[in-house]
């Protein structure tokens, strides 16, 4: 099993690495990062960063001002959520109404794993059946 440990370690490490968020540093990067997480409320499925709509330009300018004024990211987001509701967040918040949205994927994965497990069990259990000609 000496070769197994590095491989298992590597496989375990990959998702952890991928999920570490990048940190934004300059004011411009902070504006871009914020705008990418917010929805252009008059567009169809565009972020504030991608949109050319006038409202999106105004809102980008607003974010830029508040970043320049030294407001933390949370304060800027909270301010916009108060005005436009959760709709403006491209990443929906975790609250009772979105529990299923956030926990669903994990539930699907576990359900599919459970189904696969019963299937594998069945494929194995017939092995011990002496009448089964397929057993080797």
**Near other proteins by CB under 8 A: residue from 24, 32, 53, 62:** 32
As a whole number of angstroms, the distance between CA 46 and CA 38 comes to: 9
> Cβ atoms within 10 A of the Cβ of 41, count?
18
CB 39 within 8 A of CB 89: yes
Least distance in angstroms from the C-beta of 58 to other proteins: 13
Which residues, including other chains, have CB under 8 Å from residue 35's CB and lie 6 or more apart? 47, 48, 49, 59, 60, 63
**Near other proteins by CB under 8 A: residue from 24, 46, 64, 73:** 46
* CA-based torsion, 21, 51, 83, 90: positive or negative: negative
Does 11 bind other proteins (CB under 8 A)? Our answer is yes
Q: What is the largest CA-CA distance in the chain?
A: 79
Does 64 bind other proteins (CB under 8 A)? Our answer is no
Does 94 bind other proteins (CB under 8 A)? Our answer is no
As a whole number of angstroms, the distance between CA 134 and CA 127 comes to: 8
Binding segment (CB under 8 A) for other proteins, from list 62-70, 72-80, 122-130: 122-130
Nearer Cβ to other proteins (56/66):
56
Least distance in angstroms from the C-beta of 74 to other proteins: 15
Residues forming contacts to other proteins in the complex (CB under 8 A) are: 1, 3-4, 6-8, 10-11, 13-15, 17-20, 22, 32, 37, 39, 44-47, 50, 52, 85-92, 97-98, 100-102, 104-105, 108-109, 111-113, 115-116, 119-120, 122-124, 126-127, 132-136
């Amino acid at each position: 099993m000496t070769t197994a440990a590095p491989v298992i370690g590597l496989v375990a490490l990959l998702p952890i690495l991928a999920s570490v968020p990048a940190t934004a540093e300059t004011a411009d990067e902070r504006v871009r990062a914020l705008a990418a997480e917010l929805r252009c409320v008059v567009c169809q499925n565009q972020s504030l960063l991608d949109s050319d709509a006038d409202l999106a330009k105004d809102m980008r300018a607003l974010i830029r001002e508040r970043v320049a004024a030294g407001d933390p990211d949370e304060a800027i987001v909270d301010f916009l959520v108060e005005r436009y509701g959760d709709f403006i967040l491209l990443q929906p918040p975790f609250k009772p109404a979105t529990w299923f949205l956030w926990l669903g994927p994990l539930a699907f994965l576990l359900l599919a794993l459970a189904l696969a497990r019963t299937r594998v069990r069945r494929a194995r259990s017939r092995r011990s059946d002496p009448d089964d000609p397929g057993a080797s």
